[in-house]
Amino acid sequence: MRAGNGTAGRRRRILVAMSGGVDSSVAAARLVEAGHEVIGATMKTFCYSGTPASAKTCCGLDGIQDARRVADELGIPHYVFDVEDEFTRDVIDDFVHEYSRGRTPNPCVRCNSNTKFRDLFKRGRALGCHGVASGHYARLDRTADQPRLLRGLDPAKDQSYFLWGLPAGLLGKLHFPVGELDKAAVRERARALGLVTADKPESQEICFVPTGNYRDLLGKRLLPTHPALSPGPLVDWTGRIVGRHDGYSGFTVGQRKGIGGGRPEAWFVLEIRPETREVVVGPREMLDATRIVMGGLNWLATPPPPGARIQVQIRYRAPALACRVEACGADRLELAMEAPAKAATPGQSGVLFDGDRVLGGGRIAHARGEAAPACATTSSPPTRRTA
């Protein structure tokens, strides 16, 4: 099988998305080595002025300068594309909207699904590019009729989780030149090439939240009186008020921090109810989900029929969990878990795999568990559901 690093084949003009980090630097270098005509591109996703912390994130001004330096070293042109309008609409607005209704968004998925590949490639295509490349740790198998998106070879770095939302029609145009390498090999390659980004630390923060606290952004984008930023009750699964919180947007299902202690066992956020501003808390086993319902689906393969046994990954760097397709509709997928899943968080991505292959994915709408909390025999467990 020629599972593609995407660098082989005939000479093409390829746009490579360069963040200024080491992975995309090496991705560009490998495409150049493979003889392609490579154009480096960095997206300007938001306004950097007045953000002293911008240098810390891969998309800040320093990122642009590093990307440009690497492109110069590789002898390829490099352009900055202002995609602020599109990024604001598809990523930042969605991010704020999701938190405002008690869900936990996945902005990197939104950016890959919309901005980085679709909007950036639109510009690339106008420049005569045949394909678009990135430094994601993922692979493409081009041997089949329809290209298949596969996990990156390095399980510690695999980033296929973030790519489920790509337009399926774009798969044939994509290149992931570092998908067959591990991180150490990428750094080694960057050092060997003398790239300035060889030893640059990993970026972990959300690029448009330079302060590292997303609540600062919500505070700027929502009215101070918005329910998501207003105090509300912390309740247990029976509805009993056990405390107060200062805005449900500060919580994520599965979170332990911020709900107070003093109990014999640790409690976690089980559910967020924006309509009543309630944050429901309870013991860990109540997070167990045996059924996961997803919406906002995107398929990179033929949708699996009911009864199909597949795997679902519900967070980055977590193992994929075996499940059975219960129902698969136009925009609703119901999965029965073989073993309970911990904290399926509404709004987060559920990425569907068949082994190494990404079939598609969606956003977790809600999850349902069956475990009754050990300490509560008198009440039924909550149904975890959001608007």
Partner 1 sequence: MRRIHTPLYADHAATTPVRREVREALARCAEEALGNPSSGHGWGRRARRRLEEARRSAAESLGTTPRRVFFTRGGTESDNLAVLGRARHQRTEGAACPLVVTSSIEHPAVFEAAGQVVAEGGRHVVVATDAGGGLDFDALRAALRERPAVASFMWVNNETGLALPVAEVAAECRAHGVPFHSDAVQAVGKVHVSLAEVPAELLTVTGHKIYGPMGTGVLVATEPRALLPLHVGGGQEGGLRPGTEDVAGAVGLAEALRLAVEERRSEADRLGVLRDDVEARVLGRVAEMAVACDEGPRAPHISSLRVVGADSDTLLAALDADGVAASGGSACASGSSSPSRTLTAFYPGDQAASLRLSFGRATRRRHVDRIVEAVAHAIECARAAAA
Catalytic residues, by residue number, are 111, 207
Which segment (74-82, 166-174, 281-289, 347-355) binds partner 1 by CB under 8 A? 74-82
Q: Tell the burial category of 301 from Cβ atoms under 10 Å away from its Cβ (0-12, 13-18, 19+).
A: middle
The span from the CA of 40 to the CA of 81, in Å, is: 10
The verdict on 167 binding partner 1 (CB under 8 A) reads no
The verdict on 68 binding partner 1 (CB under 8 A) reads yes
Looking at beta carbons only, is 36 or 151 nearer to partner 1?
A: 36
| Helix spans in 170-324 (H) | 183-192, 214-221
Scored b (16 or more CB within 10 A) or e, 315-338 reads beeeebbebebeebeeeebbbebe
Q: Among 8, 53, 55, 127, which residue sits at the site for partner 1 (rule: CB under 8 A)?
A: 127
The verdict on 31 binding partner 1 (CB under 8 A) reads no
Contact partners, residue 189, CB within 8 Å, separation at least 6 = 26, 29, 30, 181
What is the C-alpha radius of gyration for the chain, rounded to an integer number of angstroms? 22
The verdict on 37 binding partner 1 (CB under 8 A) reads yes
The verdict on 170 binding partner 1 (CB under 8 A) reads no
The verdict on 81 binding partner 1 (CB under 8 A) reads yes
**Cα dihedral sign, 381-383-386-387:** negative
The verdict on 13 binding partner 1 (CB under 8 A) reads yes
Looking at beta carbons only, is 37 or 182 nearer to partner 1?
A: 37
Q: What is the closest distance, in whole angstroms, from the C-beta atom of residue 87 to partner 1 in the complex?
A: 13
Which segment (75-83, 183-191, 262-270, 359-367) binds partner 1 by CB under 8 A? 75-83
Q: Among 72, 82, 93, 265, which residue sits at the site for partner 1 (rule: CB under 8 A)?
A: 82
Total of chain residues touching partner 1, rule CB under 8 A: 20
Q: Which residue has the tokens 């980090």?
A: 21
Of 319-348, binders to partner 1 (CB under 8 A) are none
The span from the CA of 367 to the CA of 200, in Å, is: 39
Note the residues at the interface with partner 1 (CB under 8 A): 13, 37, 39, 44, 48, 61, 64, 68, 77-82, 122-123, 125-128
